[in-house]
C-alpha cells in the first residue's frame, strides 16, 4: 500500500494529509512480542512506546514529531493500523519516569519492569548496531493515539 492509497483509505483530503510522509514501523523484535504489543495497543493499554535513536539513524529515518503518523506493520510487514504521535521526546534511558512506563502498558506497568525488559531489548538492538548500551543511550519516548485500525 502506498501513501496515496492510504490517504484515500483514511479519507484524508489533500489539505488534511499529514504534513510529512508517514513513517512505517512495527512494535517489538519477534513475532510473539509484535503480536502482544499490537494487542495492548488495540486494548487501549499501550499508548506510548520507546525506541533507540541509534536505530532510526542507522535506518536513515528522521525522528518523528508530534502530529506525524506512522503506519504500523505486523511481523509479516502488513499494515495493520495508523497511529499519530502526540508527544515526542529524546532523553537518556535513565530518564524514563513511572508515568511513561505505565503508559507503555507492558508487564505490571511498573518502572522496574520497564527498565528490565527495555534494557534487554535495547541491548539486543545495540549489539546489532555495534553500539554499547548505557544509561545515557538516547531513547525516543513517544506517546500516540490510534487513528485507524485494521487496515
What is the spatial distance between Cα 42 and Cα 129, in angstroms, rounded to a whole number?
31
The domain spans of the chain are 3-149
| pLDDT, average across residues 23-29 | 87
Per the model's pLDDT, the better-predicted residue between 28 and 114 turns out to be: 114
Taking only the tens place, the pLDDT of each residue in 68-127 is 999 999 999 889 999 999 999 999 999 999 999 999 999 999 999 999 999 999 999 999
Q: What is the pLDDT of residue 23?
A: 84
CATH level 2 (architecture), domain 3-149: Roll (3.10)
- Of 6-15, 42-51, 138-147, which gets the smallest average pLDDT? 6-15
Distance CA 71, CA 81 (A): 6
DSSP E strands in the chain: the ranges are: 23-25, 48-52, 69-73, 79-92, 138-149
Amino acid at each position: 500500500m502506498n501513501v496515496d492509497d492510504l490517504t484515500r483509505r483514511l479519507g484524508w483530503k489533500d489539505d488534511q494529509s499529514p504534513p510529512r510522509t508517514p513513517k512505517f514501523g512495527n512494535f517489538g523484535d519477534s513475532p510473539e512480542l509484535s503480536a502482544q504489543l499490537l494487542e495492548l495497543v488495540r486494548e487501549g493499554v499501550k499508548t506510548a512506546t520507546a525506541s533507540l535513536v541509534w536505530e532510526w539513524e542507522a535506518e536513515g529515518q528522521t525522528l518523528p514529531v508530534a502530529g506525524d503518523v506512522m503506519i504500523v506493520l505486523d511481523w509479516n510487514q502488513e499494515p495493520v493500523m495508523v497511529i499519530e504521535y502526540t508527544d515526542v521526546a529524546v532523553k537518556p534511558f535513565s530518564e524514563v519516569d513511572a508515568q511513561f512506563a505505565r503508559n507503555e502498558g507492558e508487564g505490571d506497568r511498573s518502572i522496574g519492569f520497564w527498565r528490565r525488559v527495555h534494557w534487554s531489548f535495547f541491548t539486543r538492538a545495540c549489539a546489532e548496531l555495534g553500539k554499547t548500551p548505557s544509561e545515557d543511550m538516547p531513547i525516543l519516548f513517544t506517546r500516540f493515539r490510534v487513528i485507524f485500525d485494521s487496515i
